[in-house]
Structure 1
Amino acid sequence: MSDANINNTAPIKWAQRSDSLYLTIALPDVKDETINLEDQTLKFKGTSGDKSYEVNIEFFKKVDAKDSTYKVLPRSIQMHVMKHEEDREEFWPRLLKDKALEKNQVKIDWDRYVDEDEEDEGFDTSALEGGMGMGGMPPGMGGMGGMGGMGGMGGGADMESLMKQLQMGGAGGGMDPSMFGGGDDDMGDDDDDEEGGEDDDLPDLEEA
């Protein structure tokens, strides 16, 4: 049997805040991944380095799958998993319900770890921007189109009001005609002077 047909257990790192968990599946260049997060379980399958890996865990307590997000990055898969709304004010003693499984598969993410009494802010989730929601849609996409549409409408309204102001100014007769070519009269006078000058010179040529 080849390694590709053997499902190896993927290593997990985790940290928590009172309202959420931050999980990292520490596998590089993951391909063909499937991720299924439910209110009590997380299932993952994918390939990394021509080997198949999986995660099949049951959380210590319920989580909120619909508000959770994940992103496949070059060196890992990272997930921001929200705790269930009933338990968003307390720290968990461990990630998994099965204490023995946690010892073998889960490590603490010391880069993101804080003590419960030292928590002062949430996770930095900038690495997850543009990621996928566990419900299947990228988070935050719903309102972006509407904002762009409103911006376009506002620009159109400004242009319309500007045109009305120009029309009203023209109808009132209060605008300087020179703005619309009124100065052509002066140019016409210059032409007449030049033509007159040429006419004055013609008799002199005939007399010569």
Structure 2
Amino acid sequence: MSKVNTAPIKWAQRSDSLYITIALPDVKDASIVLADETLKFTGKSENKEYEVDIAFFKPVDANGSTYKVLPRSVQMHVMKKDKSEGEFWPRLLQDKNLEKNQVKVDWDRYVDEDEENEGFDTSALDGGMDMSSMMGGGMGGMGGMGGMGGMGGMDMEALMKQMGDMGGAGEMGEPDSDDEDEDIDDLPDLEPSPVD
């Protein structure tokens, strides 16, 4: 029997949900079982067997969650069970030691608790499987996500409006501007420095 490897996990959170990535490319034979307190995953990547068997720090809402197997990873948008608390978890797993060895923070999606102002960009999960319909297959993908897609659309609309308003305000990068977005655009692109 071949050795089963532990799949690497990255995670980020908002007050109402978790974004979990199983960072394996070209996953085949994926089996994902999300329960309110646990996540079990098995699959093959690059001819190796991988698994995840974790217990969450607090209960989640398996029925309101979605996932999608993408070319470079398996991504999941998992809703927290008790949204009324609106609190950030100190970690993903109940077991602190397991967390240290198996889980990393997804810095691409990370926000500080006091800076949270919108949900995750879940566009990569469009057309994904609703966790509650995993056994039945079908296209229930966005059903469990409720208003998240609409929220993202409204945010994009507001962003476009702001960008339109900025267009008539003059050249970008004026020294007396209070707009932080303009300051960011003035930064040069990072490039690797040549080795002497």
118 and 9 in structure 1: CA distance in 2 versus 1, 3 angstrom threshold: same
Q: Is residue 20 of structure 2 the alignment partner of residue 23 of structure 1?
A: yes
30 and 52 in structure 1: CA distance in 2 versus 1, 3 angstrom threshold: same
SS in 1 for 2:124: helix
- 1:57 and 1:109 map into 2 onto residues whose CA distance is 17
Match in the other structure for 2:104 = 107
1:139 corresponds to which of 122, 141, 155: 141
Deviation at 1:85, TM superposition (A): 2.9
- 1:87 and 1:42 map into 2 onto residues whose CA distance is 23
Query: Where do 1:1-208 residues align within 5 Å?
Result: 1=1, 5-86=2-83, 88-136=85-133, 137=138, 138-140=140-142
Can you give the 5+ residue segments of structure 1 that lack an aligned partner in the other structure?
143-208
- 1:49 and 1:19 map into 2 onto residues whose CA distance is 34
70 and 10 in structure 1: CA distance in 2 versus 1, 3 angstrom threshold: same
Can you give the 5+ residue segments of structure 2 that lack an aligned partner in the other structure?
145-196
Q: Report the residue type matching 2:86 in the other structure.
A: E
- 2:141 and 2:75 map into 1 onto residues whose CA distance is 15
CA displacement, residues 18-46 of structure 1 (integer Å, 9 cap, x when unaligned): 00000000000000010000000000000
Match in the other structure for 2:152 = none
Match in the other structure for 2:162 = none
29 and 88 in structure 1: CA distance in 2 versus 1, 3 angstrom threshold: farther
Kindly indicate whether the alpha-carbon contact (under 8 Å) linking 2:130 and 2:143 is maintained by their aligned counterparts in 1.
no
CA displacement, residues 135-185 of structure 1 (integer Å, 9 cap, x when unaligned): 11523469xxxxxxxxxxxxxxxxxxxxxxxxxxxxxxxxxxxxxxxxxxx
TM-score using structure 1 length: 0.64
Aligned identity (percent) is 72
Kindly indicate whether the alpha-carbon contact (under 8 Å) linking 1:20 and 1:88 is maintained by their aligned counterparts in 2.
no
Paired residue total:
139
- 2:143 and 2:26 map into 1 onto residues whose CA distance is 26
- 1:31 and 1:117 map into 2 onto residues whose CA distance is 39
RMSD of Structure 2 on Structure 1 (CA) = 1.5
Q: Report the residue type matching 1:103 in the other structure.
A: K
Give every structure 1 segment of 4 or more consecutive aligned residues whose post-TM-superposition deviation is greater than 4 Å. none
More helix by share: 1
- 1:86 and 1:141 map into 2 onto residues whose CA distance is 18
- 1:53 and 1:121 map into 2 onto residues whose CA distance is 33
- 1:118 and 1:93 map into 2 onto residues whose CA distance is 16
Rg larger in 1 or in 2? 1
88 and 31 in structure 1: CA distance in 2 versus 1, 3 angstrom threshold: farther
Match in the other structure for 2:191 = none
Kindly indicate whether the alpha-carbon contact (under 8 Å) linking 2:4 and 2:51 is maintained by their aligned counterparts in 1.
yes
55 and 74 in structure 1: CA distance in 2 versus 1, 3 angstrom threshold: same
- 1:127 and 1:88 map into 2 onto residues whose CA distance is 27
